[in-house]
Every structure is written in structure tokens, then in C-alpha cells.
Copies of this chain bind each other. A is one copy, B any other.
Amino acid sequence: MSGRRPALVLRVPSRTEYLAAIRDVTRRMAELAGFDGGEADQLALAVDEAATNVIEHAYHGAADRRVEVRLDVRGDELRVEVVDDGEGVDPRAVPQVDLRRYASERRTGGLGMHLMGRIMDSVTFRRTAGGNVCCMVKRRPAAGSGAAP
């Protein structure tokens, strides 16, 4: 996380049974950052979607790769990075959400990314030497203080 170690780092195999551990630590960190239970669940959902995408799209379902989640509280924001060393995101491949087509064509693609974008204040993708990074930021509630790690 550019210049500074993130507070919490979790590294798990690229298998959906580890999404629960990702969810747990995300909720804990969200609560330490001052988010309430419902907000913590939403944040965990966004991270779940990002990690699921790594498993399904970056690794194409391969079970022996690694997913890394980095969580940090920086001043007034919670920052989450989901990192993989698989295939990067091709921005052109990301479908636009078209609700009308969902119903008529049973299209479901694009929902995950859309949810991530709606839950977080920002979602950005970048490639680094250490892998592909999906960085998601959410402003902390005003009252929130606590874990400045």
C-alpha cells in the first residue's frame, strides 16, 4: 500500500471455502474502523465479490493460487486491496449493467462489479510488480475512531 504496510493482511488459497475467512476479517476491520454491523456486512460483501472475481476470472477457477486481502485504516478511510497474480482485469471486458436485459435475457454478468462500485466510494484496478491490485476505499463514519494501526 504505497510506502506503508497495511494493518491486516490475509492470504488464502483461491478456493471459495476461504471466502468466509475473508468475510470475517473484513467485518472485524470494518468494526474497528467504526462502521456499524450493517455497513460492515456491506463492506464484506464488496470484498467477497472482489475475491470471488479473482478466483473465477483472474485464476479461472484454479484452486492452488493465492488471494491476498490487505485491510487498512488510514485517517478517515478504510482501504481494502485484493491482490492476485493471475490474469489482469481487461476494462473492456467489464460489462455495463443493463437491468432491462437481465430480465429478458437472464443476463447476470456485471452485477458483482456494479455492487462493489455502489458499496465503496472508489474501486480502482492497477497492475504492480506484486500482482494485480483491486483497491477499494470507503470513507469512515464521522463518529468512528479506533484502530489506527
Point out residues on A near B: beta carbons under 8 Å.
5, 7-13, 15, 17-18, 20-21, 24-25, 28-29, 32, 66, 146-147, 149
Q: Which residue of B lies closest to A8 (CB)?
A: B12
Q: Which secondary structure characterizes the binding site on chain A?
A: mixed
Task: Contact check, B17 vs A7: say whether CB atoms are below 8 A apart.
Answer: no
Task: Contact check, B13 vs A10: say whether CB atoms are below 8 A apart.
Answer: no
Q: Which of B5, B13, B25, B149 contacts A24 (CB 8 A)?
A: B25
A7, B17: Cα distance in complex, Å: 12
Q: Which of B15, B20, B29 contacts A21 (CB 8 A)?
A: B29
Q: Which residue of B lies closest to A32 (CB)?
A: B17
Task: Contact check, A11 vs B12: say whether CB atoms are below 8 A apart.
Answer: no
